[in-house]
Structure 1
Amino acid sequence: MNNPQILFVMGVSGSGKTTIGTLLAQKLNIPFFDGDDFHPASNIKKMSDGIPLNDDDRQGWLERLNKLALEHTTTGAVIVCSALKEKYRVILGNQLEGLHKIVYLEGSYELINDRLIQRKNHFMPKGLLRSQFDTLEIPHDPITVSIDQSPEAIVADIIKML
């Protein structure tokens, strides 16, 4: 990447955001941030109890991730978060015109559900996957990459598209 960019890696739970985001940040030699680390405790409790977050729950969290992005415009950064709705992506990209890209990790419900069945030690209950797919608004003009390949191949595809 010639010019530093903020890359928001998005997708439903289980699509590989953390794995791909970490690898991508390493390859590009820029900071990595997992959006889940910035949720307030009240959001984590709700999700752990199997209750989907609403837009009010997400507002402050998305604003915090946008602030994080703005703090890294000179270095670039990879920030992963679900960003399922267009209005969430608008908040994330506030004041970042031309400085950020959305990377959409695309996969089928069946593939991701199979992955979640294998997953251990994560606060997102598997039952919330359907609600995430129901909420998902496919982004306009993202870097879209299929997750039915190895993490290394996914990252290589993203870098080619950058």
Structure 2
Amino acid sequence: MTQIEWAMWANEQAIASSLITILGGIIGISGSFAKWQFAVYAVVAGLVVIIMEYPRSLRAKGKSTPRRLQFPFTVFLNALGPLGRNYYFRVLFYFMLCVPCVFLLPTLLGGICLFISSILYFVAALRGECWKADLPQNEEATGNEGITAPTMPPPRKPRVFTTQKSAAVL
């Protein structure tokens, strides 16, 4: 049986929690809450989490499916260096982001979900996982430089249409 890659679960949880946090922040801003500043913070924090979590990491074994248009975010996260690749940093960062979200009711659920994703990243970090950039490779490295697409369809047998007349005559 294969090992569970906890970082994949944490990535999906963080994406969902950032969307919940943004939605709660929008509700907190438009709902005229007394502490609306926390709602503005929640929207900004949710956007930061989406930027950090949108690019998928390479899996340890097997194929990983990149998200659509993840390349610019991958380059940004790869440029952060060890801060972008280390999951211990994400644990502390997401924990610090989730604390102000619990002070306002609409952002409470997003803060709790962000705390859960922080715990999942902690499990991934304890198991020795790290983020690996999914950058496109050169064609020379893949070995597909000599293969071209076919220009003609394959030959097929012609269809034979037979009509059978009914033998029953009245």
Same fold (TM over 0.5): no
TM-score (norm 1): 0.28
Greater strand proportion:
1
- Higher relative CO (Cα under 8 Å, sequence separation at least 6) belongs to 1
Greater helix proportion:
2
